[in-house]
Structure 1
Amino acid sequence: MRQKLKGIYTKFKFRWEYFLVILLIVEVIIFGNLNPRFLKPQVLFGSVNDFISICIIAIFTCFVFITGGIDLQAGSIVGLTSIVIGVMWKSAGVNIIAACLIALIVGGLCGALSGFFIGFTGVQPMVVTLGGSFLYSGLAIAVSNISKTAAYLGISGFPQYFTSFTKKRFFGVIPSQFLIFIALSAIAYIILHSTKYGRKVFLCGINQNAAGFTGINSKLIIMSTYIFSGMAAAIAGIIMTSYLGSSKSDFGSDLTMPIITAVVLGGTSTLGGKGGVIGSALAAVVIGIMRFGLSMNGMPNQYLDIPVGIMLVLVVAGSCISKNQKISTVLRHYVSIKN
């Protein structure tokens, strides 16, 4: 029996996703004990509506991080696409479905613009996407001025069929946004982990020059990851506009740090070449549940970014420490002495 257990142990390979699942269970248990209402299925699944944008964007932003980049503009693209939907529908008289498709194209173009400068000119991703966040926020305000409605009020009055699809609950419990997130996660997983394109993304992150020597157009691959991220932000903007029944230019302004934290916490390396969709998806849910649980137990909304920031620092610090050979040697030596 002992040999059998030892054999199982040696074959078992720890994955970071297992830790995230455990962390998610611990969160549910702790917050459920603090507030029993938290454990009600309608409340727990309903919390998805508060952080679904983080989840959707994170699963595609991890593409960017795997190539060694970073995306600080996704939140601004959410606001831009949201206000584009409102203005196109209310001021230009475009059908709401067509307006959503236009918003999706706008999100892709925003990602393509930043991706072009990063992939083809070699400008640092942080500089480009930080500039992009200011640019797209400014464009969102400029677009909102086209509408006759004041910017701070937003645009409302959308057709019922547009606002109702995000309020549906399957079996009376599971919101439609959660199923959209699952479907997009499956699509992202197939693209990244089961296609030649996905292998090229990883190769570009491991060594861009070497990828180029193998015939991979690394510049175009890098650009494409920002297009995916921009389109994911546009989808989040569409869902947010539908659920809230309002279109505003400042939607997504507070999403940047949670998105980055979700990707990094999901096991994606900030140096590129390592990461995954499942880890990013689980980490986004972990962060969302943590924010919702803290809010339900009395923490003011303006302080919810504090634990997210602490988590980001700890994860990055832990990752750097684990890769430091001197520290690893000292820890191994200490463990061997203990044994």
Structure 2
Amino acid sequence: MKEKLKKNHLKFKFRWEYFLILFIVAEVLIFGGMNPKFLMPRVLFGSFNDFISICIISIFMCFVFITGGIDLQAGSIVGLSSIIIGVTWKTLGISVGTACLIAVIIGCLCGALSGFFVAFTNVQPMVITLGGSFLYSGLAIAVSNMSNTAAYLGISGFPEAFTSFTKKRFFGVIPSQVFIFIALAVIAYIILHRTKYGRQVFLSGINKRAAEFSGINTRLIIMSTYIFSGMAASFAGIIMTSYLGSSKSDFGGDLTMPIITAVILGGTSTLGGKGGVFGTALAAVAIGIMRFGLSMNGISNQYLDIPVGIMLVLVVAASTASKNPKINKFIQNNFNFKQKLNDKLVHK
């Protein structure tokens, strides 16, 4: 029995996802201690309604990061998708379901356009997607001007069938958005980690030239990741429009930094070739709970990006420092608790 215990300890391998789970638990306990209402299941699960967009977009945006890219335009696509739903439904008289389908198609086309320029022109992804952010925000305003409703008021009055599905709570506690997020996360996980396409995404990020020599069309792979990101942004726009019962062109304007932070905090490398859906999903939940917990304890919404920004800087700095051989050797010699525990078990 003792030998078996030693063997299990030796086999134990720390994963970043374990830290994220502990971090989420710590957040719940800390914020719950500061405000007991936070621990109420209805309130805790209901918080997903406030950050579901971050969760949905980040699990597909990690595809982009794994190829070595970055996407700064997802927030703008959220607003564009939302206003397209409102205008096509109210002004053009198209059914809400068809309007949502149009929004998804346009979101994919937006991702495809930016992905094309990134993949086929070799221009820096940051430049392309930053330009796309301004472009799609401008298009959203242009589309909103097609409506008779003032842009700052938004378009409301959607059918109950459209708004009710995001307000439904299973068992009277868990919002439907939680199950939507889980379903999309499972789909993203299967695509990235269990398919040939997913392996091609990783290889394109690890070594683009080697991927091309092995017969992979890296340009199409890279372009497709931006399509996934645009599609996810349009999904977020649909859910946000349904939940709020209003369609506005500025939805998603403050999502860019939390989304990027969630992807990086989830363990995805900014240099490409490394990352995962599970870690990204956990990181998105951690960031969402942090923002919700701070707001419940009296922090103004305009200051919620401060801790997210600090977290982003610390994670990137730690990731960069860990690649330094001297720092890595120092950590291994002084803070390798797992090795010390295994050594004790071996010598007993």
Indicate whether 1:197 and 2:203 are aligned: no
Within 5 Å, which residues of 2 pair with 1:59-138? 59-138=59-138
Output the CA distance in 1 between the equivalents of 2:74 and 2:334. 44
Output the CA distance in 2 between the equivalents of 1:187 and 1:263. 17
Indicate whether 1:187 and 2:187 are aligned: yes
Q: Deviations over 1:207-251 (max 9, x none)?
A: 111101100000000000000000000000000000000000000
Within 5 Å, which residues of 2 pair with 1:1-339? 3-332=3-332
Letter in 2 for 1:117: F
Output the CA distance in 2 between the equivalents of 1:248 and 1:85. 9
Relative to the length of structure 1, the TM-score reads: 0.97
Unpaired runs of 5+ residues, structure 2, are 341-348
How much does 1:312 deviate? 0.4
Output the CA distance in 2 between the equivalents of 1:87 and 1:210. 46
Output the CA distance in 2 between the equivalents of 1:291 and 1:82. 23
Output the CA distance in 2 between the equivalents of 1:211 and 1:130. 27
How much does 1:325 deviate? 1.4
Output the CA distance in 2 between the equivalents of 1:44 and 1:131. 37
How much does 1:326 deviate? 2.6
Letter in 1 for 2:29: I
Secondary structure, aligned partner of 2:329: helix
Output the CA distance in 1 between the equivalents of 2:334 and 2:253. 46
Output the CA distance in 2 between the equivalents of 1:332 and 1:263. 26
How much does 1:334 deviate? 5.3
What percent identity do the matched residue pairs reach? 77
Q: Deviations over 1:261-294 (max 9, x none)?
A: 0000000000000000000000000000000001
How much does 1:335 deviate? 6.2
Relative to the length of structure 2, the TM-score reads: 0.95
Partner of 2:346: none
Letter in 2 for 1:113: L
Output the CA distance in 1 between the equivalents of 2:216 and 2:81. 32
Output the CA distance in 1 between the equivalents of 2:300 and 2:226. 34
Letter in 2 for 1:35: N
How much does 1:2 deviate? 5.0
Letter in 2 for 1:215: G
Secondary structure, aligned partner of 2:299: coil
242 and 205 in structure 1: CA distance in 2 versus 1, 3 angstrom threshold: same
Output the CA distance in 1 between the equivalents of 2:334 and 2:267. 26
Secondary structure, aligned partner of 1:49: helix
Output the CA distance in 2 between the equivalents of 1:283 and 1:2. 36
Output the CA distance in 1 between the equivalents of 2:184 and 2:331. 41
Letter in 2 for 1:108: C
Unpaired runs of 5+ residues, structure 1, are none
Output the CA distance in 1 between the equivalents of 2:329 and 2:172. 54
How much does 1:162 deviate? 0.3
Output the CA distance in 2 between the equivalents of 1:144 and 1:126. 27
How much does 1:333 deviate? 5.1
Q: Deviations over 1:171-203 (max 9, x none)?
A: 101101110000000000000000000000000
Secondary structure, aligned partner of 1:270: coil
Size of the aligned set, in residue pairs, is 337
Output the CA distance in 1 between the equivalents of 2:332 and 2:121. 43
Secondary structure, aligned partner of 2:108: helix
Letter in 1 for 2:21: V
How much does 1:329 deviate? 2.8
190 and 332 in structure 1: CA distance in 2 versus 1, 3 angstrom threshold: closer
How much does 1:109 deviate? 0.2
Q: Deviations over 1:58-110 (max 9, x none)?
A: 00000000000000000000000000000000111111000000000000000
335 and 144 in structure 1: CA distance in 2 versus 1, 3 angstrom threshold: closer
How much does 1:327 deviate? 1.9
Output the CA distance in 2 between the equivalents of 1:317 and 1:307. 15
